Each structure stands twice: as C-alpha cells, then as structure tokens.
C-alpha cells in the first residue's frame, strides 16, 4: 500500500529587509546607547531579530529586562501580553514599548476577565471543593491578577508540571486557562485520566454554563478552557506518521501546546527552551521534525547545518500576530525616542500589577 505524502517544507527562506532600514536602525540605536534595550521573542521574524540585544521566551526576556540597569526604555519585539509581563516585572522608571500595537495573541484573546469571572461563579456554584486557578503566561495581566486574588498561579510551558502539582497540593480541582492543550497534556503526563477532565466553553450558547451541567464540574478534577494556540493547533495527528514514512529515523519534537494526539505520537515534548537545547545538544546527522513556530524552526535549521531540521507540518506554521512586528515599526519607535517622543507604551495599572505579581512570584518559585 502506498502512502500519499504531501510536500514537506524543510527549508524556509529568511525574511527580507527593505533597503536603508539597517542604516536608520543602527543610527538610532547608536544615538540612544544603553538607554534602550531591544528584546526579541524566539518566534520573531528574522528581519527584526537581527537587531535585538537578547532573544528568548516571554518570561526569560521579561526577567532580562528586570535585571538590566540604566535602561529607560525596553522595546519588546513580541506580543502584547509579553510587554505587559515585562512592565509588571520592571521598575516604574522603565517604560516598555510594543513596536506595533496590533501584535496581540489569539490564545490570550480567547479568555477575558469577564468570561473567567463568570466561569468562576459557575464552578463555585457547582462544587464546594477548593479550586485553584492557573493561567498560562500567554494571557492578559488581568487574568494573571485573577489568579493572584484566588490563590492561584501563572505557569509557563517549562514549569507547567510543577505548577499543576503545586495546585493539587493546595486544592482539589484545577481551572486551567486559556490553553486547553497545555493543560490536558500536562495533567495527563501527571497521571490524571482524560475522563477526569472537562472542557469549559466560554461561548456556550446554552444558559452560559460552559457547555456542561453542574454534575460534570463536580466530578471532574480538571476544568480546561476552550482555547488554543493558532500556530500549534495546526499540527495534525497525521503529520508525525508522514514524516516518519518519508524520513526513516527522524525524531518528532513538539511543543506541549500541540493537540493531545500529536503529543502522544511525539518522541519528545517540551517548551521552546527545551526544543532549542535538545537540537543544540544533538549529534551531527540527527534528524528532527519540529512542531512549533516556523521562524524558530528555520533558525534552528540555519544554526545547525550538521543536522536535518524540518517543520513537522507540510506548510509553515507562523505566528501571524507576532509577524506584525516589522523592522519598519521597530525603526519608527527608535527614531521617536531619538526625537524625545514615545508611543505604544504598555502600562499595567497598579492594582492589576500587584495581584499579577503575586501569581507570577508563585510561578517563579517553581520555575524549572
């Protein structure tokens, strides 16, 4: 029996940069000196990443910003929730700038504070057992603050297991939002069966009960939010099979934001940092099909020519919202600062920042 194999895209070209922009950005950076710090998330496009002072995941970059002295402005080349976290963790004297205000996060937008507060009321009406809320760091500052107020915590993909374990030490039930896949994959890896998890749908058209009756919430240990990453959702359970058939010996390495069925077929599962370190430590001749954002996959391919590195999908899975951060936008923000002007400054109000910091600190205590 033959298998119809779609075209796989092991190599993706670099993003071009318009003529003259490099000189303008370089001139502005030289004029500003150490007063500005430019940070780039791993999923950022290449024509922006080349101008950054540091690259990393959202928390790594926020922590880097919080430790840097004599900086007046942090330009965060990522998405809105990342800039919020950086603002929370940096001193009030530091202003965090998002180059393009359109750079949001579709996952973070899948849960807002009004929806979560309503869900909390539904769950508290359904059970008297202690519920611990945990929000993925890919969420708004308001949701982080909600967790701070309700004895919960933030988690990253790196320490989700530790945070979920902590949550069950402090309560009987877990409300995990906004990413259902990270919650499901983490809880299953900790030995919680799927039939003890239930999905809360914030867009349930019937009685606004999240799509379940009270009994379903009462008998479940884990309540997952119906949210997902628009990038990692695109990896299908068939993709590992296709890659193994086409490239014998290839290893499947995926992010835990992928669907449960994809994670179950993977050889290795881990955070962005784990993915990077795994490829970095692998021997020459290793073959990898990686289920995460394509700019990172392409960067790993270019940095490790001694290995075969491909995206897991037969197409490029791109974070389209982060892609809105362009070298043109970065240049505009830098030149404004040179001229003594500011725009796109991200500020989290004091009360929200206070409670969000409590939830973030609980996470940092458990950071892997």
pLDDT in tens, 241-276: 999 999 999 999 999 999 999 999 999 999 999 999
Report residue 316 as tokens.
Answer: 């490029």
Q: Would the pLDDT of 144 be above 90? A: yes
Q: Would the pLDDT of 339 be above 80? A: yes
pLDDT at position 11 is 42
How far apart are the C-alpha atoms of 60 and 257, rounded to whole Å?
18
> Is the overall model pTM greater than 0.75, yes or no?
yes
Closest to 75 (Cα-Cα) out of 60, 88, 86: 86
Arithmetic mean of pLDDT, 222-226: 98
Length of the chain: 368
Task: Say which range, 48-57, 136-145, 188-197, 241-250, has the weakest mean pLDDT.
Answer: 48-57
How far apart are the C-alpha atoms of 296 and 167, rounded to whole Å?
31
- 108-229, CATH topology level: Rossmann fold (3.40.50)
Q: Would the pLDDT of 218 be above 50? A: yes
Q: Would the pLDDT of 283 be above 60? A: yes
Lookup result for tokens 């379903």? 216
Arithmetic mean of pLDDT, 111-133: 97
What confidence category does residue 174 fall into, taking pLDDT thresholds of 50, 70 and 90? very high
CATH number given to 21-104+322-349: 3.40.50.10800
Q: According to the 3-state scheme, what is the secondary structure of the chain?
A: CCCCCCCCCCCCCCCCCCCCHHHHHHHHHHHHHHHEEEEEECCCCHHHHCCCCEEECHHHHHHHHHHCCCCCEEEEECCHHHHHHHHHHCCCCCEEECCCCCCCCCCHHHCCHHHHHHHHHHHHHHCCCCEEEEEECCCCHHHHHHHHHCCCEEECCCCHHHHHHHHHHHCCEEEEECCHHHHHHHHHHCCCCHHHEEEECCCCCCCCCCCCCHHHHHHCCEEEECCCCCCHHHCCCHHHHHHHHHCCCCEEEECCCCCHHHHHHCCEECCHHHHHHHHHHCCCCCEEEEECCHHHHHHHHHHCCCCEEEECCCCCCCCCCHHHCCHHHHHHHHHHHHCCCCCCEECCCHHHHHHHHHHHHHHHHCCC
Domain with CATH 3.40.50.10800 in the chain: 21-104+322-349, 108-229, 232-311
Report residue 298 as tokens.
Answer: 């392409």
Q: Would the pLDDT of 79 be above 80? A: yes
Q: Would the pLDDT of 13 be above 90? A: no
What confidence category does residue 87 fall into, taking pLDDT thresholds of 50, 70 and 90? very high
How far apart are the C-alpha atoms of 19 and 290, rounded to whole Å?
33
Task: Say which range, 10-14, 64-68, 83-87, 197-201, has the weakest mean pLDDT.
Answer: 10-14
Cβ atoms within 10 Å, residue 11: 12
Q: Would the pLDDT of 175 be above 80? A: yes
Q: Kindly report the average pLDDT of the chain as a whole number.
A: 92
Q: Are 41 and 78 in contact (CB under 8 A)?
A: yes
How much of the chain, in percent, has pLDDT values that exceed 70?
95
Q: What is the largest CA-CA distance in the chain?
A: 68
Q: Would the pLDDT of 9 be above 70? A: no
Arithmetic mean of pLDDT, 23-34: 96
CATH number given to 232-311: 3.40.50.10800
């Amino acid at each position: 029996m033959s298998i119809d194999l779609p075209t796989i895209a092991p190599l993706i070209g670099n993003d071009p940069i318009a003529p003259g922009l490099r000189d303008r950005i370089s001139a502005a950076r030289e004029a500003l000196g150490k007063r500005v710090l430019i940070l780039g998330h791993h999923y950022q496009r290449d024509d922006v990443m080349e101008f950054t002072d540091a690259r990393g995941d959202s928390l790594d970059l926020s922590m880097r910003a919080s430790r840097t002295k004599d900086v007046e402005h942090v330009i965060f080349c990522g998405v809105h929730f990342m800039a919020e976290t950086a603002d929370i963790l940096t001193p009030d004297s530091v202003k965090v700038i998002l180059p393009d205000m359109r750079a949001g996060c579709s996952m973070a937008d899948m849960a807002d504070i009004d929806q979560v507060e309503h869900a909390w009321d539904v769950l508290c009406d359904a059970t008297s057992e202690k519920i611990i809320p945990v929000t993925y760091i890919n969420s708004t500052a308001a949701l982080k603050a909600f967790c701070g107020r309700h004895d919960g915590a933030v988690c990253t993909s790196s320490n989700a297991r530790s945070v979920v374990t902590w949550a069950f030490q402090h309560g009987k039930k877990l409300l995990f939002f906004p990413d259902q896949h990270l919650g499901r994959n983490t809880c299953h890896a900790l030995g919680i069966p799927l039939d003890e998890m239930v999905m809360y749908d914030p867009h349930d058209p019937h009685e606004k009960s999240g799509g379940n009756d009270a009994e379903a919430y009462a008998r479940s240990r884990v309540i997952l939010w119906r949210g997902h990453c628009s990038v990692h959702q695109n990896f299908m359970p068939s993709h590992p099979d296709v890659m193994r058939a086409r490239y014998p010996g290839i290893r499947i390495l995926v992010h835990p934001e992928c669907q449960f069925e994809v994670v179950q077929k993977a050889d290795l599962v881990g955070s962005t940092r784990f993915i990077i370190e795994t490829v970095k430590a692998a021997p020459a001749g290793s073959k990898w099909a990686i289920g995460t954002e394509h700019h990172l996959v392409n960067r790993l391919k270019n940095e490790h020519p001694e290995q075969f590195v491909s995206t897991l999908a037969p197409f490029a899975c791109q974070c389209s919202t982060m892609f809105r951060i362009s070298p043109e936008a970065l240049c505009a923000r830098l030149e404004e600062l040179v001229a003594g002007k500011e725009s796109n400054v991200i500020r989290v109000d004091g009360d929200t920042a206070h409670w969000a910091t409590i939830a973030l600190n609980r996470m940092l205590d458990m950071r892997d």
